[in-house]
Amino acid sequence: MILIVDDTPENLISLKKVLEIHGFEVDTASSGEEALKKVIKNAYVLIILDVQMPGMDGFEVAEAISGYSKAKETAIIFLSAASTGLNFITKGYSSGGLDYITKPVDMNILLLKVKTFYRIYEQSRKLIEIQEALMEEIEFRKRAERKKDEFISIASHELKTPLTSVKGYVQLLERSIDKGDIPTVKRHLEKAQLQLDKLNDLIADLLDISKIESGKLKFTKKNFNINMLLDSIIEIIHQSNPEFRIIKTGHVAQEVFADEMRIEQVIVNFLTNAIKYAPGTTEVHINVSLEADRVIVSVKDFGIGIHPEQQKNVFDKFYRVEETAIHFQGLGIGLYISAEIIRRHGGTVGVNSTFGEGSEFYFNIPLISMTEQD
């Protein structure tokens, strides 16, 4: 918008008319004081300022508004009888410009200058926008880089722990074999196997992350019975966590068309988290139901729970609740992978939790997920 400041009403009206005919939005002020009030309230691209006015003259007005942040980009064209006196009011104009036109006003020249200032204004606004976007991008990348560094150090540590255990068991095995102590050999082998399984799971998760990143996470969908899948998962999880009772409720008779192994991965992740983050408890509930052609699976524990402000982050890549991270091993990628699998089946994931009381993680997918939601 352009602000015309002139104490002569005829000048105001005629200038306004010409500029409006050429498509500019125009505001007017008939004194320096009124102009100042308007500049505080509105943002102007350009002010056309009469120099000779009673009360505050044009130069004084320009001086006064030079400090306003709103007027930092505003250009000023003085309408004066002579071109002298412009030097002393140049302070404070960062990207706005200053120019003058002598009276009587040549409308063609005025229009030319107005158009130029508008073009400069548009260009500088675009530059500022680009600069802001770039700064945001730099900040985002720096944050991502920091997260990645953190992740690499956690991942190396997580991988090293089972590896060191396996090395230890192999050394013990050597001694037990030398002694011909077969029962001990078997025990060590079982323990080494457990650590190798852990290592295998960690590496599988890392591979999944890189598949997601490169768009190579593919699904093989077929019909399967979700009740049977749940029963088999519960049996396997119970075997490795015999102290936990996993109580299943609900029943879905219809077959589900989805990637069975990937859905299993999500449920296993929910269940192992429910056990991991609930030390000292012995019960986990799992429910399956059908609602409007969608299968809903929820896993409820009575463990440490999650604060409300942290709940929205748990499905983010590399996110781990800081206060509890030191007490539990993990990479902070299981839920991210789960959320991605469910999203690509056209479903959603979520969590309800009360800190100190427990959490309920759930997902829903359509009975038939024909298309991948990318």
Residue (of 211, 188, 250, 155) closest to 337 by Cα position: 211
Q: Note whether 317 binds ligand ADP by CB under 6 A.
A: no
Task: Give just the sign of the alpha carbon dihedral 83, 85, 91, 92.
Answer: negative
Question: Minimum Å distance from CB 61 to ligand ADP?
Answer: 60
- Please give, one letter per residue, the 3-state secondary structure of 308-329: HHHHCCCCCCCCCCHHHHCCCC
Kindly indicate which of the ranges 58-66, 165-173, 214-222, 271-279 contains the residues binding ligand ADP, using the contact rule CB under 6 A. 271-279
By CB under 6 A, residue 96 contacts ligand ADP: no
Q: CA-to-CA distance for 289 and 144, rounded, in angstroms?
A: 38
Please tell me whether residue 331 binds ligand ADP under the rule CB under 6 A: yes
Query: Closest CB to ligand ADP belongs to which residue?
Result: 330
Measured distance CA(16)–CA(73) in Å, rounded = 21
**Which residue stretch of 31-39, 86-94, 222-230, 320-328 sits at the interface with ligand ADP (rule: CB under 6 A)?**
320-328
Query: Using a CB cutoff of 8 Å and minimum separation of 24, what contacts does 149-156 make?
Result: 150/318, 151/318, 151/331, 151/332, 154/331, 154/332, 155/202, 155/206, 155/331
Which of the stretches 114-122, 187-195, 211-219, 267-275 binds ligand ADP when contact is defined by CB under 6 A?
267-275
| Residue 61 makes contact with ligand ADP by CB under 6 A | no
**Least CB distance from residue 24 to ligand ADP, whole Å?**
56
Q: CB 204 → ligand ADP: shortest distance, Å? A: 13
Beta-bridged to residue 297, according to DSSP, are 288, 363
Chain position carrying tokens 């998760």 = 205
DSSP string spanning 217-236?
-----EEEEHHHHHHHHHHH
Per CB under 6 A, the list member of 320, 340, 341, 349 interacting with ligand ADP is: 320
339 binds ligand ADP (CB under 6 A): no
Q: Which stretch binds ligand ADP (CB under 6 A): 26-34, 244-252, 255-263, 269-277?
A: 269-277
For position 335 contacting ligand ADP by CB under 6 A, the verdict is yes
Our CB check for ligand ADP shows the closer of 320 and 345 to be 320
Closer to ligand ADP at the Cβ: 121 or 361?
A: 361
How many CB atoms are located within 10 Å of the residue 150 CB? 13
Is 301 a residue that touches ligand ADP (CB under 6 A)?
yes
Q: Which of 31, 165, 324, 348 binds ligand ADP (CB under 6 A)?
A: 324
Q: What residues contact residue 22 under an 8 Å CB cut-off, 6+ apart?
A: 111, 114
**304 interacts with ligand ADP by CB under 6 A:** yes
Residue 300: which of 258, 245, 342, 340 has the closest Cα?
A: 245
| Chain centroid, CA 269 distance in Å | 24
To the nearest whole angstrom, how small is the minimum distance from the Cβ of residue 335 to ligand ADP? 3
**Residue 89 in contact with ligand ADP, rule: CB under 6 A:** no
Least Å distance between CB 256 and ligand ADP? 23
Give me the amino acid identity at 323.
Answer: E
Cis-peptide into 279, omega within 30 deg? no
Q: Which residues bind ligand ADP (CB under 6 A)?
A: 269, 273-274, 277, 301, 303-304, 306, 314, 319-321, 324-325, 330-336, 359
